[in-house]
């Protein structure tokens, strides 16, 4: 299927999902408490089969779900996406025991997942992680010490995918101080990071909610000797960045889809408003300055949508240039959504700034996606590194852009949720 053409079954399903969001999910959002995990909403996503679809379909399907939900109910979109972000590492890298314990609960909407990469001092340069997994000779496992910050669904999640510094995977020291990829961001660099599945009831794990611009469940986590063992590893020791980047390469295009959905909602509202708002003896849409602005909003939204779909299809095909495509899609779509929502507010005037207005809501929601899962500046870095690496490969030049792993993995900035 060409990236620019959805088949009738897909478009029909998207329309039905928007209807379901308006009729069944929006009422649950309205009953929820801002800044807290809305468990009835998560359960409804499970009952509708949307959470199961996160794990049995591809990146394009994920984008269609997120875009459709975002047009109608950003809170439902976010709840869906965060379940996928937190649980995808378990689905892709978990042991049979881990998958059997947690995935059925996630799919049913009974367990809430979180993805903990960002820290107070390590966001965009995620290879600089300071959370340490110190060997525990008594158990053969580790003790986690440190903090995570701006974590989706924290501190209420039932389990969290946690990235911690265990040290060089080739084994110079278990504490991670000696052997990793020096100069790659921290003492151990990307090679010294491992991923763990940490249930919420582990001793020494505490957290606090954070009050953010858009009131979603976001918090900090503190690890005071939290015990983890080999059975809690996701993937291989020292290969945590493979887990993180596999997840982010899937979800970055869908962050773009979330942004496109918000842009489309703002555009739709603007079309209605400008076509009916009296102004200067006609309506706003009669003014060339207004109609040209709306045309620009629509064109940018459609361009972002097509780039998102193309990146998602590249992921589903297993193309080697997914990091570049995913970064391009997230970059263009999130910047476009910011532009479109801001333009919509301008064309609506003061009414759009009133608390409770759709655009007031979107204005707060649209800002964070330009930061989380890799800030705009980080996406440009990834794109440039991939371009120069590919150019060097074609010409036989060694260049200075670094390895494939580091060019696509090091700047991630994941953790701040939508």
Give the torsion sign (CA, 314, 56, 202, 33): positive
Preceding omega of 252 cis (within 30 degrees of 0): no
Query: 156: which 2 tokens?
Result: 């209420």
CA dist 187 and 296 (Å) reads: 47
Q: What is the CA radius of gyration of the chain?
A: 22
- Scored b (16 or more CB within 10 A) or e, 57-75 reads eebbbbbbbbbbbbbbbbb
Active-site position among 236, 373, 386, 405: 373
**DSSP labels for 317-348?**
HT-TTHHHHHHHHHHHHHHHHHHHHHHHHHHH
Give the torsion sign (CA, 365, 367, 371, 376): positive
Measure CA of the first residue to CA of the last residue in the chain; give whole Å. 30
Task: Mark whether 373 is an active-site residue.
Answer: yes
Instruction: Name the residues annotated as catalytic.
Output: 373
């Amino acid at each position: 299927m060409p990236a620019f053409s959805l088949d009738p079954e897909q478009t029909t399903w998207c329309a039905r999902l928007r209807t379901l969001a308006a009729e069944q999910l929006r009422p649950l959002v309205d009953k929820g408490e801002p800044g807290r995990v809305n468990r009835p909403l998560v359960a409804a996503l499970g009952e509708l089969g949307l959470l199961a679809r996160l794990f049995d379909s591809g990146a394009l399907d994920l984008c269609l779900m997120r875009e459709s939900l975002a047009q109608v109910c950003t809170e439902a979109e976010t709840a869906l996406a965060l379940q996928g972000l937190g649980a995808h590492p378990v689905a892709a890298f978990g042991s049979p025991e881990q998958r059997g314990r947690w995935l059925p609960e996630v799919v049913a909407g009974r367990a809430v997942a979180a993805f903990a990469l960002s820290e107070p001092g390590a966001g965009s340069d995620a290879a600089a992680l300071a959370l340490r997994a110190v060997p525990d000779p008594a158990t053969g496992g580790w003790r986690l010490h440190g903090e995570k910050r701006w974590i989706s669904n924290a501190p209420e999640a039932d389990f969290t995918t946690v990235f911690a510094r265990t040290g060089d995977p080739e084994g110079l020291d278990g504490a991670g101080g000696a052997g990793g990829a020096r100069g790659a961001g921290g003492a151990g660099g990307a090679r010294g990071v491992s991923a763990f599945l940490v249930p919420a009831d582990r001793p020494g794990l505490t957290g606090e909610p954070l009050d953010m611009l858009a009131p979603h469940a976001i918090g900090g986590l503190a690890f005071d000797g939290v015990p983890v063992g080999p059975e809690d590893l996701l993937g291989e020791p020292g290969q945590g960045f493979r887990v993180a980047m596999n997840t982010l390469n899937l979800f970055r295009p869908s962050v773009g889809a979330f942004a496109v959905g918000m842009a489309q909602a703002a555009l739709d509202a603007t079309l209605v408003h400008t076509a009916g708002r009296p102004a200067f003896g006609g309506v706003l849409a009669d003014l060339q300055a207004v109609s040209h602005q709306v045309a620009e909003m629509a064109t940018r939204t459609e361009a972002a949508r097509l780039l998102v779909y193309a990146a998602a299809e590249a992921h589903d095909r297993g193309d080697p240039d997914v990091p570049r495509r995913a970064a391009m899609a997230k970059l263009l779509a999130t910047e476009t959504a910011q532009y479109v929502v801001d333009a919509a507010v301008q064309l609506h005037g003061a009414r759009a700034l009133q608390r409770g207005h759709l655009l007031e809501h979107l204005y707060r929601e649209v800002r964070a996606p330009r930061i989380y899962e890799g800030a705009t500046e980080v996406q440009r870095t990834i794109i440039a590194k991939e371009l120069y690496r590919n150019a060097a490969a074609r010409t036989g030049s060694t260049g200075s852009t670094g390895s494939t792993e580091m060019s696509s993995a090091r700047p991630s900035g994941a953790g701040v949720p939508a």
